[in-house]
Chain A
Amino acid sequence: MKFKPAHELGWKELKPGYIIDDPGNSIHYKTGSWRSRLPVWDYSRCIKCGICYIFCPDNAVIQRSDRYFEVDLDFCKGCGICARECYTQCITMKEERV
């Protein structure tokens, strides 16, 4: 079934009670625009422990092929949990401007 974003759905298209019978469709709901601060890694201090990956509430921390971590800009809401939990404090939250 082709996913339709919320702002395109008409009332007649909704399932009874706004049931969602398309599991995992939150992948289509991009939350990156909520962000005002962006986590930035200092890889000279990163030990690749993955605590940022584990704590990210939105699976927005992803691991690169060189085993370092970075952020998925489509989903990171800028909550700062990764920076707070980082053992070496190598993540800083930088203000983002449009």
Chain B
Amino acid sequence: MGKVVGMEISIAAAEAVKQCNVDVISAYPITPQTHIVEKLSEFVANGELDAEFIPVESEHSALSVCVGSSACGARTFTCTSSQGLILMSEIVYITSAMRLPVFMILANRSLSAPLSIWVDHSDVMSIRDCGWIQVFAANGQEVYDHVFHAFKVSENESVLLPYILNIDGFILTHVVEPIELIDQEIVDKYLPPFNPPYRLDPDRPLTMGAYGVPEVYMESKMAQDMALKNAFPYIINAWKEFGDLTGRYYNPVETYRSEDADILLVTMGSMGETAEVAVDELREDNIAAGIVKIRLWRPFPYEDFINKVSRAQILVVVDRSLSYGGPGGPVASEIRGALYHLDKRPYVMNFIAGLGGRDITINDFKEMIDHAIKNAHKSRQEDYILFGTRE
């Protein structure tokens, strides 16, 4: 067992990135991502980490630097939030289409306007279809652990895809938690050096990001889609291998008291931990509630998810972002799609909650469950509710 320390989660994330011995870090500061990158720049300046730290004038440039360095075969890291992600979004799509295994920590934060620095998932949902592997962490230990998982999976020769680790802004980034660190020798055992099959090399010229004529563009997109779907077993295996080394096992869909539950909360990110307390209290009142927490958002684990929810009567999907004028929350619409072909499927009730940093409390979850029990099957499945908004 590694040493357990009390550490701010951002610092733990930076520590993990250092332990992965990255070659290039390029980022632009934005709240609440700042502490991660600040700490890494300190590591480089102090000579504790032998890497290029490339300060840039914008997030668009930050990810562009990462694309270039990853193409050269460098282990590459960036980190952003909210408006920064939106500004780099042009390059986000290019990174995955060029199959460059850049690793990004996204400290989730709401989008302007109104200006807000606080957590929600509208930043990542704006690039939902970007083709990166997308994972959500629920606590500090998961954040630290998934840094190793990210490089392990994305740099695998059979995967070669960029990876976003979503961590809720402030709720995770700025909180001190006990973190069990992993010994460097275990990290070195788990994570082989990055050795891409193709890299920019003057002695072996090749073209990356070439023009794709209409005759081949669709084939290239098919190949990209299959690459992300085919990454699934490598994601699972890397979690398994990590668990065997550290004792901490992760799954694409985590559950809490769900086996005999009639009503399931579906959560992503840190809110899942609060929901556990709510479920414990509901169970004391003889309400058979449970939780399904989606860790792996892309590639979406359809089979695993369906297996874990199909027994329930009602799913209460809590989305932390909103698709205006559309299907409500992106998670709920994903789930409705996933369940559509089942003969008998749970009723899906969708709450949009916690936008712009509003807390989602234990009582909020209990109220959602109460509302769902009273109103399920009365309203149309495709409806959604902005939980707790005042008129």
Q: List the interface of chain A (C-beta within 8 A of B).
A: 5-7, 9-12, 14-21, 23
Contacts and interface: CB of A to CB of B under 8 A. Distances in A.
Contacts of B100: 17
A18 B216 contact: yes
Contacts of A6: 213, 215-216
Contact of B226 (A11, A18, A23): A11
Interface of B: 97-100, 160, 197-198, 204-210, 212-213, 215-216, 219-220, 222-223, 226-227
A17 B157 CA distance: 13
Contacts of B215: 5-7
Given A19-B208, A20-B207, A21-B206, A14 B219 contact: yes
Contacts of A15: 198
A44 B98 CA distance: 51
Contact of B216 (A7, A16, A21, A23): A7
B207 A9 contact: no
A4 to B, nearest CB: 10
A76 to B, nearest CB: 19
Contacts of B205: 23
A7 B209 CA distance: 18
A16 B220 contact: no
A16 B210 CA distance: 12
B219 A16 contact: no
Given A6-B215, A7-B216, A20 B222 contact: no
B208 A17 contact: yes
Nearest to B198: A19
Nearest to B208: A19
Label chain B's interface by main secondary structure. loop
B219 A9 contact: yes
B198 A16 contact: yes
B206 A12 contact: no
A68 to B, nearest CB: 33
Nearest to A21: B206
Q: Which of A10, A14, A16, A23 has the most CB of B within 10 A?
A: A16
A94 B200 CA distance: 43
A22 to B, nearest CB: 8
B206 A23 contact: yes
The 6 closest A-B pairs by CB, nearest first: A17-B99, A7-B215, A6-B216, A11-B222, A20-B207, A11-B219
A95 B97 CA distance: 40
A12 B216 CA distance: 12
A96 B89 CA distance: 43
B219 A20 contact: no
A53 to B, nearest CB: 25
A8 B193 CA distance: 36
Nearest to B207: A20
A20 B206 contact: yes
Contacts of B213: 6
A64 to B, nearest CB: 31
A21 B97 CA distance: 16
A12 B210 contact: no
A34 to B, nearest CB: 12
B161 to A, nearest CB: 9
A5 B214 CA distance: 12
B198 A18 contact: no
B207 A17 contact: no
Nearest to A29: B213
A19 B207 contact: yes
B223 A11 contact: yes
A10 B219 contact: yes
Nearest to B158: A16
